[in-house]
Amino acid sequence: MVIPTEDGSGRAPYAPLVTLGEPDLEALARGCAIFGGGGGGDPTLGYVMAREAIRRHGPVTVVDLDELPDDGLVLPVAMVGAPTVIEEKIPNGSEGGRIQAIYERHLGQPVVALAAAELGGIEGMLPVAWAAHAGLPLADCDLMGRAFPEIHMCTPTLHGLPIGPVVVTDERGNVATFTSVDAAWAERLVRPTCAAMGSCASLAIFPMTAVRARAVAVRGSVSRAVRLGRRLEAEAGDPLAVLAAELGAVRLIEGKVADVERWTTEGFARGSAVIEGFGEDAGRLLRLEFQNENLLALLDGEVVASVPDVITILDQHGAGAVVSERLRYGQRVSVVAFPCHPAWRTAAGLQLVGPRAWGYDLDYVPVERLHATHG
Amino acid sequence: MVIPTEDGSGRAPYAPLVTLGEPDLEALARGCAIFGGGGGGDPTLGYVMAREAIRRHGPVTVVDLDELPDDGLVLPVAMVGAPTVIEEKIPNGSEGGRIQAIYERHLGQPVVALAAAELGGIEGMLPVAWAAHAGLPLADCDLMGRAFPEIHMCTPTLHGLPIGPVVVTDERGNVATFTSVDAAWAERLVRPTCAAMGSCASLAIFPMTAVRARAVAVRGSVSRAVRLGRRLEAEAGDPLAVLAAELGAVRLIEGKVADVERWTTEGFARGSAVIEGFGEDAGRLLRLEFQNENLLALLDGEVVASVPDVITILDQHGAGAVVSERLRYGQRVSVVAFPCHPAWRTAAGLQLVGPRAWGYDLDYVPVERLHATHG
């Protein structure tokens, strides 16, 4: 339900772009799974958490950053850890309020809106649950325009903004606060804390004013995910056509999962998968490598997509996206890739999250150019 | 130089028990090595740090807790990590000031004195260096009366006092602050952070008022270590007699180190050593187990001393105490043990740091009783 922004009396404190009730939650979950690129955790759990919160506290208003007061504090939130663990060690609901209170005390001003630190899987849904609990709007933005495995891989890092204080908490009530010399050090310190907390924790990063967020965040991502989710639902018969039209997605292969290797280390779900083509792709092999998120796709040994572009696997039965930790031998899937946010294609963006940042000795080529060559 | 407390005008702000200039620093280092029980790191580095700080900023006043204002904030400080690493990755001097400023801002009151969290090796010297830098007195107390490997093994834990906020920092300027559900969780969270910072970091724990410290700390430990160090220096020919007279120490063996096994894991120096008796101990074998500190001594298979009593190794050449990470094949040593602070012999104390807390399936027997049986 999109309500156009209106001036005049009688309107809500913020003109909502989207009011997330139960129907749009499903659309958001569907969209977040696509943007997750295999990471961010299965959105089902996030969907259930958000639905319960909305049933209890009412729908969540998604607002444009322009609607928020310039100096209002926007808090990007996320879960951190191995998605394989997040699904079994569920937050108990107290985490968001605890984190918010710490920032408000520390920074001496109220939080005016929550935001998603990343938009993928559960990470896109959790902020909805927290916003419902807190009675706060959700800003229509995120800090990646997709999901990445490490917490410093956010657009504000490209602008040199401080990531901290980073506040991390677990379902027991332990709290760790980090102020680091740079964003990469925050990742190095938060990751083992998350592992000690049981390989999964809740956090907030890059607390910032709305005026700052307007300049550095990926804007419009929540409403975009809802729109995509709605259209995927409406045109369920041909998800690839929807993704091509909405995201410029290219089809990499259709096939069966022939091999999956996966291990949970250092708080990450790492691994690789091989997909054996069928139909018009018969005889072709796609190899995928992932660290929570899909990082690299090789078709018959040639790179056909790489980070920071988004590589997403669709289940051919459910038409929904499949997260890395759900990938199974014999599953029939389509693999697509689509362009990342332009911020990641700059020199600074590629230095932070391009192929070499993951140890792949190859130059990044935008997926649409690779496709023009190979397609 | 012990100056008795006096009333009346013209006295220093605090009546010093000891004024730590260079000569007494040496005595303190000597004493701290004995109380360290093999842990706390080689005091030489701490001595050098403290000496440099005193040369730059002047001597440090050691004051009794009774001298401090009741509600004055006392801050126990320490280094955490593997002593093997601490010796190579030296603090740059900014750590203490950074930690102090964070507590003062967080708790809204000035720190009136620093204290040693533990009294062993470098851990007894570092607070002197920081106190000199900060221009603060050092409270005549610590939280263990010895050294223990884990940060929650402090007397305030026995009184249920909160360990946090625990502020941890490294030489780069990274800061982590922990508020945990209990003291043991603080250890679980701080240890991997310390490992991520490079297996060594600086911290403060159990910030408390002077009135609280009077009730829960081990009092008089700094002046006791100085007194012991002075006497060891004066009677250098017979350190065992000094330790027997001052601490009730019993001699476990004199011999040569026949075997040392040592590894650095999870930020600890763990291992074991075998000492082959000579002279009147010829034919006897002492086995020592340590985790930074010496935990257990077995003479010909029988327990002759165990945590929480203090087991200390003396070098027969230098007459100084030998920390675990300096123990070497062929070294000629005397091993002694002496009673721990009475707080550790209570039921709560033994639950926290008794033999079973380290996985040894044996009941604690005070070293003086074991000695009465064996001696």
- Min CA distance, A264 vs chain B (Å)? 18
Contact A181 B196 (CB under 8 A): no
Mutation target among A103, A179, A188 for the B interface, most CBs of B within 10 A = A179
**B38 found inside a domain:** yes
Residue B174 with chain A: CB contacts under 8 Å: 178-181, 185, 189
Same domain, B136 and B284: no
For residue B320, what pLDDT band results from cuts at 50, 70 and 90? confident
Same domain, A186 and A304: no
Query: Comparing B224 with B266, which gets the higher pLDDT?
Result: B224
For residue B375, what pLDDT band results from cuts at 50, 70 and 90? very low
Closest by CA to B121, choosing from B26, B51, B227, B37, is B37
Non-local (6+) Cβ contacts of B191 within 8 A are A196, B80, B150, B266, B267
CA gap B92, B200 in Å, rounded: 12
Residue that finishes a domain, picked among A170, A192, A225: A225
Q: Residue with structure tokens 């938060």?
A: A190
Does residue B269 carry a pLDDT above 90?
Answer: no
Could you tell me which residues are beta bridge partners of residue B297?
Answer: B288, B305
pLDDT in tens, A57-72: 999 999 999 999 999 9
- Min CA distance, B85 vs chain A (Å)? 18
Residue that finishes a domain, picked among B204, B225, B246: B225
Same domain, B176 and B282: no
User: How is B243-295 classified by DSSP, letter by letter?
Assistant: HHHHH--EEEEEEEEEEEEEEEETTEEEEEEEEEE-GGGTT-EEEEEEESEEE
Q: Which residues of A touch B (CB under 8 A)?
A: 172-181, 185, 188-189, 191-193, 195-197
Same domain, B150 and B210: yes
Mutation target among B103, B171, B174, B182 for the A interface, most CBs of A within 10 A = B174
φ, ψ (nearest 5 deg) of residue A344: -80, -10
Same domain, B214 and B304: no
CA gap A230, B301 in Å, rounded: 74
Mean pLDDT, rounded, for B295-312: 97
Provide the domain count of chain B.
2
Mutation target among A174, A182, A203 for the B interface, most CBs of B within 10 A = A174
**B232 found inside a domain:** no
pLDDT in tens, A25-46: 999 999 999 999 998 888 888 8
Residue A20 has what DSSP assignment?
A: E
Does residue B11 carry a pLDDT above 60?
Answer: no
Same domain, B89 and B210: yes
Output the pLDDT for position B319.
64
For residue B13, what pLDDT band results from cuts at 50, 70 and 90? low
Output the pLDDT for position B65.
97
pLDDT in tens, B181-199: 999 999 999 999 999 998 8
Residue A23: helix, strand or coil by DSSP? helix
Closest by CA to A227, choosing from A14, A35, A7, is A35
Output the pLDDT for position A108.
95
Contact B189 A176 (CB under 8 A): yes
**B9 found inside a domain:** no
Mean pLDDT, rounded, for A12-16: 70
Closest by CA to A20, choosing from A32, A7, A8, is A32
CA gap B354, A363 in Å, rounded: 58
Mean pLDDT, rounded, for A173-178: 96
Same domain, B278 and B160: no
Same domain, B179 and B71: yes
A3, A19 contact by CB (below 8 A): yes
pLDDT in tens, A304-354: 999 999 999 999 886 689 988 889 999 999 999 999 999 999 999 999 999
Q: Which residues of B touch A (CB under 8 A)?
A: 172-181, 185, 188-189, 191-193, 195-197
Q: How far is CA A281 from the centre of its chain?
A: 30
Output the CA torsion sign for A201, A207, A211, A212.
negative
- What are the CA-CA distances from residue B48 to residues A238, A293, A337 (Å)? 73, 49, 59
Q: The domain that contains A215 carries what CATH number? A: 3.40.1610.10
Contact A196 B181 (CB under 8 A): no
Output the pLDDT for position A342.
97
Q: The domain that contains B261 carries what CATH number? A: 2.40.390
CA gap B70, A133 in Å, rounded: 42
Same domain, B76 and B168: yes
Q: Find the helix or strand (DSSP H, E) in which A231 lies.
A: helix A221-234
ipTM of the complex: 0.85
Residue B172 with chain A: CB contacts under 8 Å: 181, 185
Crossing angle for the helix pair A122-134 and A22-36, to the nearest 10 degrees: 140
Does residue B216 carry a pLDDT above 90?
Answer: yes
Residue that finishes a domain, picked among B225, B260, B283: B225
Domain span at residue A344 reads: 237-374
Output the pLDDT for position B8.
37
Output the pLDDT for position A267.
66
- What are the CA-CA distances from residue A101 to residues A287, A344, B109, B313 (Å)? 45, 32, 22, 50
CA gap A366, A307 in Å, rounded: 9
Same domain, B220 and B287: no
Non-local (6+) Cβ contacts of B354 within 8 A are B306, B307, B308, B344, B364
Quote the tokens at residue A365: 């080529």
- Min CA distance, A176 vs chain B (Å)? 4
Mean pLDDT of all residues belonging to chain A: 91
Closest by CA to B96, choosing from B70, B122, B128, is B128
Contact B176 A193 (CB under 8 A): yes
Same domain, B189 and B45: yes
